[in-house]
Amino acid sequence: MAVETKVESNVEVIKRSSNFLRGGLAQELALDTPDVSGESEQLLKFHGIYSQDNRDVRRERAQAGVALDYIFMTRVVIPGGRLSTEQWLALDGIATSVADGSLRLTTRQAVQFHGVLKGDLRQLAQSLDRQFLSSFGACGDVVRNVVTCPNLHLESGQGHLEGIALQLRESFRSTSEAHWEIFVNGEKAASREEIEERPFYGETYLPRKFKIAVSHPSDNCVDVFAQDVGLIPGDHPEAGAGFTLVVGGGLGRSYANADTFARLAEPLTFVTNEEVEEVIASVITTYRDLGDRTDRKRARMKYVVADLGLEAFRSEVEGRLGRRLRAPIPLPSSFDADDHLGWRPLPDGTWQVGIRVGAGRVRDDEHSTLRSALRHIAENFAVTFFITPQQDLIVSGLREDDRNAIEALLVQHHVRLDGELGNVERRALACPALPTCSQALTESERRLPELVSGLEGALAARQLGRRPLQLRMTGCPNGCARPAVAEIGVVGRTKSTYDLYLGGGIRGDRLASLYREKVSLDDIPDILGPLFDRWGAEGESDEAFGDFLTRVGVA
């Protein structure tokens, strides 16, 4: 019987022939055309840029026989989500000068600009570079933005972890000079030393993207089990301070491939602070060598771990590391998932305030002038901004004397304060989806408010309005807002329907189960009504909805 020979994907061919991510990008950017070739579209992702079109006018333009309304999304790498006031003001200026007037905060603590024209991509990159920011490595088959719990920066006793996001970013970023040459400087600068690409990337980089998150010892706001590599700080009885390292998580899947699935990461080992980088490097090289380069829908590291099994995967890592891995310590028993909203005192005597940003979209509109409020804060107060993994924003370092002024400013700009938020609203996440994302099957961000309102109404009708409820919504099964671990996950299935997942763990430690397929968004509150009735009648007073559904066997 003939043995099927698998052929590497076209993206692998593009990467290998790209001269370390250069390809023909410089030449295409110089052309007076609104779009780029398919090959350059793939390479742009490594530079943090996605080629898109305005899908709201796609059909209209096609019927008129005119070209698509080509636009680009640029994602900015912000390790740990930390920004100075100068950096925030620069990002705010970019939103006006070359984007659609908004900044979008992501679940990976990055900032996205939408609606950018091809001719403005260089200007955007140069503006970022002046503030020591970059979009390079925000997308593509590399280690993405490193996510950390904001409390690692802000809470007393975690000072040794404050810079870990930047440390890991520097250790695992691509060293190709392509981005500088093409987008920032315009040509290869003689003063910049040519640096070889990191050996764990090589000329074809990784099979797919690679995500790292660092949780707080008692707070899993980062969804550490949804990552390729997750780090949970702890103390080993013999080795001392370090991390439980978990591997093989990932939530995306494909409707067109039944062999794809969501998966939670498993504990692989305990590493000390000094060992963490070399062990992650060995995990990355294992993935580089064993990941599927023929089918990108099944190329994530979670499938390597799932197919091999954890023990065989550990052996592969040990072979590349050159020594045995230490056994992991028990996982924390008191994991929570803080939303970081509201006023909180800091150990140095200053304050922070966590501000809800609906679906992460910072803008001025008829409901609120949040963007103007944040600009005023950045211009007039000595603070630090932290983007949270819930798409919200923390303003940190405020003096006690500034609290009343900040609160009055937020009220003046119609920014709703912590106590005014509904219990579904304050935890709800959504991906952008239509009209910009090319992968979206249906709406997400734009219809999140009405779904939140419907669920909060259903809860209020049952006197359950004070109970927290976690909702996450995406326009496709790629899982950018992490619905696969939500108490209620709503995932776009067709142009007008969604799949409904229930029972995820509010602490990010349990996958949701498929409850209904292809339901209308308008029907979801009524579908959940009987379950809310049972939750109110049979659930414990402090029992989370996902925990209840799991306990009674619904999910």
Query: Of the candidates 469, 480, 488, which has an alpha carbon nearest to the alpha carbon of residue 427?
Result: 469
Q: Predicted confidence band at 190 (pLDDT cuts at 50, 70, 90)? A: very low
Distance CA 391, CA 358 (A): 8
Count of H-run helices and E-run strands, the chain: 17, 20
Q: What is the CATH number of domain 425-551?
A: 3.30.413.10
Distance CA(454)–CA(257), nearest Å, equals 33
Catalytic option among 476, 482, 493, 510: 476
Question: In three state form, how does the secondary structure of 269-315 look?
Answer: EEEECCCHHHHHHHHHHHHHHHCCCCCHHHCCHHHHHHHHCHHHHHH
Q: How many CB atoms lie within 10 A of CB 77?
A: 22
The catalytic residue among 211, 356, 447, 510 is: 211
Instruction: Give the lowest-confidence range in 118-122, 160-164, 421-425, 535-539.
Output: 160-164
Q: Which one of 45, 75, 253, 416 is the catalytic residue?
A: 75
| 3-state class (DSSP) for residue 512 | coil
The percent of residues above 90 in pLDDT, for the chain, comes to 93
Question: What distance in Å separates the CA atoms of residue 211 and residue 230, rounded to the nearest whole number?
Answer: 8
196/486: higher pLDDT? 486
Give the long-range contacts of residues 186-191, CB within 8 A, separation 24 or more: 186/122
- Using only C-alpha atoms, the chain has a radius of gyration, in whole angstroms, of 23
Whether 149 is catalytic is: no
Q: What is the pLDDT of residues 88-141, one digit of tens each?
A: 999 999 999 999 999 999 999 999 999 999 999 999 999 999 999 999 999 999
Q: For this structure, is 221 an active site residue?
A: no
215 vs 2, more confident:
215
Is 358 in a helix, a strand, or coil? helix
State the CATH class of domain 145-175+206-337.
Answer: alpha beta
Which stretch of DSSP H or E encloses residue 74?
strand 70-76
Q: Which CATH number fits domain 1-140: 3.10.310.30, 3.90.480.20, 3.30.70.2170, 3.40.50.300?
A: 3.90.480.20
What is the token pair recorded at 3? 């043995």
Per-residue pLDDT at 362 exceeds 70 = yes
**Residue recorded with tokens 């800091």:** 346
Q: How far apart are CA 305 and CA 485, in angstroms?
A: 19
How far is residue 99's CA from residue 383's CA, in Å, rounded to a whole number? 25
Q: Is the pLDDT of residue 193 over 80?
A: no
Task: Find the range with the poorest average confidence among 81-95, 151-165, 178-192, 327-341.
Answer: 178-192
CA distances from 550 to 458, 537, 543 (A): 21, 16, 11
Q: Render pLDDT for 510-528 as a digit per residue (tens, 0 to 9).
A: 999 999 999 999 999 999 9
Q: Taking residues 147-161, what's their average pLDDT? A: 83
Catalytic residue among 209, 426, 427, 472: 209
| 1-140 matches 145-175+206-337 in fold | no
Q: Does the active-site annotation cover 518?
A: no
Please answer whether residues 267 and 331 qualify as being in contact, where contact means their C-beta atoms are separated by less than 8 angstroms.
yes
- Backbone φ and ψ of 229, nearest 5°: -130, 125
Q: What is the arithmetic mean of pLDDT over 268-281?
A: 97
Give the Cα separation of 36 and 89 in Å (integer).
30
Q: Which one from 371, 437, 447, 510 is the annotated catalytic residue?
A: 437
CA dist 360 and 387 (Å) reads 9
For residue 429, give the nearest of 491, 482, 499, 362 by alpha carbon.
482
Task: Give strand pairing partners of 386.
Answer: 82, 394
φ/ψ of residue 414, rounded to 5: 60, 35
At 539, is the pLDDT very low, low, confident or very high (cuts 50, 70, 90)?
Answer: very high
pLDDT at residue 177 is higher than 60: yes
Choice among 45, 104, 431, 510 that is catalytic: 431
Compute the CA torsion angle 11, 13, 15, 18 (nearest 10 deg).
-130
What is the layout of strands, in order, in the sheet containing 471-474? 429-430, 471-474, 488-492, 498-502, 513-519
Element spanning 38, H or E = helix 38-46
- The residues pairing with 234 across neighbouring beta strands, listed in sequence order, are 242
Q: Is residue 144 annotated as a catalytic residue, yes or no?
A: yes
Q: Is 293 a catalytic residue?
A: no
Whole-number percent of the chain with pLDDT over 70: 97
Nearest 10 degrees: Cα torsion 419, 424, 429, 435: -110
pLDDT digits (tens, 9 = 90+) for 33-65: 999 999 999 999 999 999 999 999 999 999 999
Q: Are 458 and 467 in contact (CB under 8 A)?
A: no
431 noted as active-site residue:
yes
Q: Could you write out the DSSP letters of every residue in 438-505?
A: TT-SS-SGGGHHHHHHHHHHHHHTTT-TTS---EEEESSTT-TT-GGGSSEEEEE-SSS-EEEEE---
Active-site pick, 15, 108, 144, 510: 144
Question: Is pLDDT of 240 > 60?
Answer: yes
Task: Name the residue ranges covered by the structural domains of the chain.
Answer: 1-140, 145-175+206-337, 342-418, 425-551
- Alpha carbon distances (Å) from 521 to 40, 223, 386, 407, 524: 37, 26, 32, 35, 6
**Could you count the other beta carbons within 10 Å of the beta carbon of residue 455?**
22
| Residue 105, strand partner residues | 111
- Using pLDDT thresholds of 50, 70 and 90, give the confidence band for residue 191: very low
DSSP 140-197: SSSB-PPEE-THHHHSTT-GGGTTHHHHHHHHHS---SHHIIIIIISS--TTSPP-PP
- pTM for the complete prediction? 0.96
pLDDT of residue 155: 75
Q: Active site residue: 480, 493, 507, 510, which one?
A: 480
pLDDT at position 399 over 90: yes
Question: Which residues are within 8 A (CB) of 62 and not within 5 positions of it... i.e. 6 or more apart?
Answer: 68
Domain covering 342-418: architecture: Alpha-Beta Complex (3.90)
